[in-house]
Structure 1
Amino acid sequence: MIHIYLCEDDKRQLLRWTSIIEKYLLMNSTESLLYCTASSPDDLLKVRKDSNITGLYFLDIDLRAKKNGIELAEEIRKYDPRGYIVFVTTHSEMAYLTFQYKVEAMDFIVKDKISDLPEQIYSCIRNAETKYRNQLDSSDRLLSIKVDKASLVMDQDDIVAITTSEEYHKIVIHTLNGFRQMSGSLKELSASLNSHFCQCNRSTIVNLKHVIKYSRDEALLYMNNKESYSVSVRLLSKVHKSLKCL
């Protein structure tokens, strides 16, 4: 998942950016989420500090605040060293400052070209999602699921558990932020999961990274999203062994 952050002190501009991004997210199969819209650097940083999800940041440079956009980007790097930063500005001549502050901007968008803004923003989102997908793939965390005619990309570390649905040939993916139902079966999906996943009963696969307590007496796994899952007798020894290997 990618969290998208916006920081623009002009509220009309901020609303325009928001509308453009909401349209993209509505029209495309993606796990990206518009997470924060802020008119001041401090407001954005307060939200960023409470998240551990990779971000895509669209930042105005001239924020008419104690911090300009480049200084804000420098602060963001402390919390999200691998995040994707895009400057949306009328001050393209300030690009050289990004090298001075070592913020590694992914792109610059010139505000004045209003008609080009939607496609430029869409391009940045697509670029960030591609980079994110490659990053997950290289670390064995990529999960790509077909949804209709598109592919949904997820970070396996975000998944707490996968369960069968009451609806035929559907599964439910549980994360710390909620759940999502989609077509498929546990058997089909299990082949794409990394070694941190373990089937604990006929209808459930859990991510052992999210287990906070295992009660062998109760045959229950307690997860960090406040859910719990039973461990079947047949899979008891397998689960116990997998937990010891973590």
Structure 2
Amino acid sequence: MMFSIYLLEDDEQQRAYYREIIDNSIMINNYTIEVAELNDVESFYNAFSKEQFGLFFLDMEINGDIKAGVKIAEFVRNSMPDAKIVFVTTHEELAFLTLERKISPLDYILKDNDKEEIGNKISKDISLSQEYYRNSIYEKENIFGYKIGSKYFSIPMKELIRVYTEKESPGRVHLESDSREMSFPGNLNSLEDKYNNLIRVDKSSLVNIDRVSSYDVHKRILYLDNDYQCDVSYRKSAKVSRLF
């Protein structure tokens, strides 16, 4: 899951200023964010990807259509329910229309405000959306989330096979999945408490129960997808046997 910002503004000078604020916010906070800078409705639809989590800065009036931004926001809300939408506009009177269409925007930024206030609101909206994105990774059980430094990453839980620790690298958790193998700072106890589908098979391994192929109770070996296998401790064997 990728965090993206979409900036839709048909005025070149205003768009350049908003983009500068966005880029500075990303750089200062070391965010991992992709930015799509767009100037008309067609380019927006070409760039839009519902696979991503998005923060949308939308001008309400695009090329003379004062409801263009509202129409796009309605499309975004239907396609990406968790999206964060911010209107940057001179048309404060259209706020009721966004309520009527259940768009639930995060913020309204009036272009009549001074530049400093506009910049502060854009930066704050990015920070709030990044916080929501980070929390959503860790709260959804169908997503496995982890952090490396100041950056947050996630993979679909269905791709995760197992996580484990090694004596040679204390304080780090190793991950094996369909798409990647890597390590990150952490501990198994917190992951076991958080994700119900991860079960402890010994003191140093958690496996995704949905990725288990079979269990040899006599050898105490658990066979996993992609030809992975792991030993099951004597203490955990009875529990694993009941599951498989």
Give the distance between the partners of 1:198 and 1:164, measured in 2 at CA.
14
* Structure 2 alignment gaps of length 5 or more: none
CA drift of 1:207 comes to 4.9
Q: 2:232 aligns with which of 224, 231, 234?
A: 234
CA drift of 1:190 comes to 2.4
Query: Identity of counterpart residues, as a percentage?
Result: 24
> Residues 140-172 of structure 1, C-alpha deviation per residue, up to 9 Å, x if partnerless?
679897877x8x777785683645587553335
Scaled by the length of structure 1, what TM-score is found?
A: 0.66
**Worse-superposed segment, 170-179 or 105-114:** 170-179
| Equivalent residue number for residue 54 of structure 2 | 55
Give the distance between the partners of 2:19 and 2:175, measured in 1 at CA.
28
| Equivalent residue number for residue 225 of structure 1 | none
Which residues in structure 2 correspond to 1:33-52 (within 5 Å)?
33-51=33-51
Give the distance between the partners of 1:176 and 1:110, measured in 2 at CA.
46
Give the distance between the partners of 2:193 and 2:96, measured in 1 at CA.
43
Scaled by the length of structure 2, what TM-score is found?
A: 0.66
Give the distance between the partners of 1:79 and 1:71, measured in 2 at CA.
12
| Equivalent residue number for residue 171 of structure 1 | 173
Give the distance between the partners of 1:176 and 1:87, measured in 2 at CA.
39
* Structure 1 alignment gaps of length 5 or more: 223-227
> Residues 40-62 of structure 1, C-alpha deviation per residue, up to 9 Å, x if partnerless?
334333444441x4322111111
| Counterpart residue type for residue 187 of structure 1 | L
CA drift of 1:109 comes to 0.8
| Equivalent residue number for residue 72 of structure 2 | 72
| Equivalent residue number for residue 87 of structure 1 | 87
Residue 59 of structure 2 contacts residue 87 of structure 2 at CA under 8 Å; is this kept in 1?
A: yes
- Name the SS for the 2:120 alignment partner: helix
Give the distance between the partners of 1:177 and 1:101, measured in 2 at CA.
39
Which residues in structure 2 correspond to 1:69-148 (within 5 Å)?
69-112=69-112, 113-131=114-132
> Aligned-residue CA RMSD in angstroms?
4.5
Give the distance between the partners of 1:88 and 1:179, measured in 2 at CA.
42
| Counterpart residue type for residue 20 of structure 2 | S
> Residues 24-73 of structure 1, C-alpha deviation per residue, up to 9 Å, x if partnerless?
2333366x62353333334333444441x432211111121777111100
| Counterpart residue type for residue 4 of structure 2 | H
Cα gap change, 1:240 to 1:74, in 2 (>3 Å)? farther
Residue 164 of structure 2 contacts residue 173 of structure 2 at CA under 8 Å; is this kept in 1?
A: yes
CA drift of 1:173 comes to 5.9
Give the distance between the partners of 1:86 and 1:201, measured in 2 at CA.
48
Give the distance between the partners of 1:96 and 1:7, measured in 2 at CA.
21
- Name the SS for the 1:4 alignment partner: strand
| Counterpart residue type for residue 169 of structure 1 | G
**Worse-superposed segment, 124-133 or 169-178:** 169-178
Give the distance between the partners of 1:200 and 1:45, measured in 2 at CA.
47
> Residues 97-156 of structure 1, C-alpha deviation per residue, up to 9 Å, x if partnerless?
2123331212101234222222101221233345556767876679897877x8x77778
> Residues 168-202 of structure 1, C-alpha deviation per residue, up to 9 Å, x if partnerless?
53335678997875433x33442442202245787
Give the distance between the partners of 2:192 and 2:213, measured in 1 at CA.
25
Q: Decide which structure has the larger Cα Rg and report it.
A: 2
Q: Does 1:5 align with 2:3?
A: no
